[in-house]
Homo-oligomer: A and B are copies of this chain.
Amino acid sequence: MTDSRPIGVFDSGVGGLTVLRALKAALPTESTVYLGDTARVPYGTRSAQTVITYAVNNARTLVKHGDIKALVVACNTVSAVAIEALRDAVSMPVIGVIEPGAEAALQALSVLHSVHPSSMPSSPSITVLGTQGTVRSGAYARVLALRGHAQPTAAIACPLLVPLAEEGWTTGDVPALVIDRYLQALPADVGVVILGCTHYPLLKDVIAQRLAIHRPGAMVVDGAAATAAATAALLQEHGLCSPAGATPIHRLLVTDAPQQMAALAPAFLGETVDPSSIELVDVIFDAS
């Protein structure tokens, strides 16, 4: 069984394009419709109830404009608090970034165990870097505990990292100093750091460099590739894969400021985007 309809992907803004990039790499024949809710970005500082409302708005907007077959939530803040509400709101498979990211972190831990760097404690812990909303939710800690991870999972809110990524200040003194300041809160026994925000992969190199100084041997994990792999498995499971050899169509929707999305896209998506191809849509507010 195949299904040529697109996968719907949404984020509060441009950050989710790092997940879209991984999806396009892993699933080259799948069409996608990406919605960036740029009229209401960022979600990371908002209450859980507001994030849930916005997330359901976005899902309905994608259903209306995109005729989608599955929904990928390419935003940690939304994945942390709204997955159940989204599953209630739309009748299709829904996948977030937190479970795949947690899974990738556990795999990285098992690699650490097998190579056991001398600088590492015998039972290293996992720390999440993310938005205030993701940190407050405790979502990664919950998922990791459910999967049997025994160490407490720390989480550090890093509000400066999103604007650093969007400014393109990803090398040099400024990001290094900012990251050093956030990494001061790392537990002594940390072995794996999860990039728990879709903007942070743009800062992965400098985060890894600073982490190597603060905690030699510790690893940095980002969940984008794991999310793409989990999406592939989900499509397979539900008989929703595209026909073999299909030529994919990719659409980008925003709720505000298409030019700005076009300007930021290359750094996040890894390709240029024609501003005139970006569709400006109204968010659907009502619950019907």
User: Which stretch in A157-165, A190-198, A224-232 binds the other chain?
Assistant: A157-165
The answer to whether B39 and A50 have CB atoms under 8 Å apart is: yes
The answer to whether A47 and B167 have CB atoms under 8 Å apart is: no
Copies of this chain in the oligomer = 2
Q: With contacts A46-B257, A174-B178, A177-B177 known, what are 14 further pairs, Cβ within 8 A?
A: A38-B45, A39-B46, A39-B50, A45-B260, A46-B256, A47-B257, A50-B256, A50-B257, A160-B164, A160-B167, A160-B169, A162-B163, A174-B174, A174-B177
A50-B39, A174-B177, A177-B174 in contact; A257/B45 too (CB < 8 A)? yes
Q: Does A64 contact B (CB under 8 A)?
A: no
Query: How distant is the Cα of A257 from the Cα of B39 in the complex, in angstroms?
Result: 18
Per the CB 8 Å criterion, the residue count for chain A at the interface is: 26
- Name the B residues within 8 Å of A167 (CB-CB): 159-160
Q: Does A271 contact B (CB under 8 A)?
A: no
- Name the B residues within 8 Å of A257 (CB-CB): 45-47, 50
Question: Shortest CB–CB separation between residue A54 and chain B, in angstroms?
Answer: 9
A45-B257, A50-B256, A260-B45 in contact; A173/B177 too (CB < 8 A)? yes
- Name the B residues within 8 Å of A169 (CB-CB): 160, 181
Interface residue ranges of A105-159 to B (CB < 8 Å): 132, 159
Question: Shortest CB–CB separation between residue A136 and chain B, in angstroms?
Answer: 10
- Name the B residues within 8 Å of A256 (CB-CB): 46-47, 50
Task: Write the A197-209 contact mask toward B (1 if CB under 8 angstroms, else 0).
Answer: 0000000000000
